[in-house]
Structure formats: structure tokens, C-alpha cells
Amino acid sequence: MHVIGTGIVGKTLSGKLATLGHQATLARTEPDLFGKPPVTVWRKDYPAVSLESFAEAVGGAELVINATLGIACLEALEATGAANLAGKILIDVSNSLDFSQGILPSLAVCNDDSLGEQVQRKFPQAKVVKTLNAVNAALMIEPNQLQGGRHTMFVAGNDAEARAEVSGYLKEWFSWQDVLDLGNITHARGMEILLPLWIRIYGATGNPMFAYRIVR
């Protein structure tokens, strides 16, 4: 099990997976974009999380989580080597947020395409499943912190068996109670478009601890 990306999402996911007994590997060692301590400092609390190159980390993995900065994720995934991703489930948590015009970001990819689709096209032999991209990192791994976990997580991907497997992981690892399978990877477009709304709700409430719930 390997997580690519050492921002808050990558650290949160890899830390949780390490506590569950899974092997987690990270690559970057310098401070992140928000000035958080380098991953080498963070690892003092998570010694089970190792540091390796992207290619080393992914080569022996059965499952890979992409938690890289969205606008650079294709470049980061290329560094893993396409052959290392072939046949593997690639859980894509990234978003194509573009902060170039100010603190309220736009999406660099949207409407008739999505980052999830771009990842799948770039690595056609990987089984890309989009999920976890529209909630706070803390809720990703512990949804029960909010309303007893009574909210919904989405999954989308071209491989039905991979979607089912990831849905099971979300329930088993992170205790998501309601996982809604949207279907093929084109549905990542709607999932990623939730992010600008998420950011504005955060701004209006001053609280990132909220989630979407589909009442049905």
C-alpha cells in the first residue's frame, strides 16, 4: 500500500493506514506548499511510514493512492513509471485546483473532462478509482467525527470490480457507512466540481468539518 504525495492529505491517509498495519511510503522531504514541517519531521510520530522514490514506492505496491497536488499529479505519476501502475488499483484523491488567480481557486480541468479521466487516459492499464476528494482530510479517515458518520462518499471508475473493492476499503479502513457507486470515470467530473463549492462553504462557515449526504 503506497501513498504518493506528502501534503496534509497524503500524511493523513498514510498515517491512518500505518496504524492499521499497512505499509505506507512517502517521497518528498521538504516543507509543503503551506509551510508545514517536512515529512521527515512528521515521520517521528509515524516511524512505520517509510520514505522512498516514487518508482521504488509503487513498484512493489498492490494498491496506490494518488494524493499529489492536482495540477502536478500527472508529472508525479509519470515518475512512478507506467509499468509500475499497470494492473493496479490507483485511488485518485487529487483535485485540479488552480490558485494562480488568487486564494479562491478555480479548476484547471472541468466540465467536459476531469483529472480522474486524465489519469486514466495517461495510464490506461491502471484501474483508476476517484474518491475522497471532496471532504476534509480528517473526515476522510474518520467520518464518524461528524453526525455519527451519516454522510455519503462517492466512487467512480471504469473497472466495476475495482470500484467495489475500493468501496469495501472505505468501509473497512475508514468506517464510511454510505458509499455511492456513481459508475465510470467520467463521473469524476461531477465529483471534482464539488471542490469549488466545498471551498466556498468552508469560507462561509469557517469550519472544514462538513460533508455531503445523499438522502434517498
Domain assignment present for 212: no
Could you tell me the three cell numbers for 10? 497524503
Domain assignment present for 191: yes
First to last CA, the chain: 34
Q: Are 153 and 132 in contact (CB under 8 A)?
A: yes
Q: Which residue has the cell 469557517?
A: 206
Four-point Cα dihedral 19, 165, 3, 116, nearest 10: -150
Map residue 15 onto helix, strand or coil: helix
Domain assignment present for 213: no
Four-point Cα dihedral 86, 88, 94, 100, nearest 10: -10
CATH number for position 76: 3.40.50.720
Domain assignment present for 124: yes
- Which pLDDT value is given to residue 7? 82
Q: 99 is in which domain, residue-wise?
A: 2-205
- Which pLDDT value is given to residue 31? 47
Domain assignment present for 34: yes
Domain assignment present for 182: yes
- pLDDT tens, position by position, 28-64: 544 454 455 555 555 566 666 555 555 555 666 789 9
- Which pLDDT value is given to residue 21? 84
Domain assignment present for 215: no
What's the number of domains the chain is made of?
A: 1
Domain assignment present for 76: yes
Rounded to whole angstroms, how far apart are CA atoms 19 and 24? Answer: 10
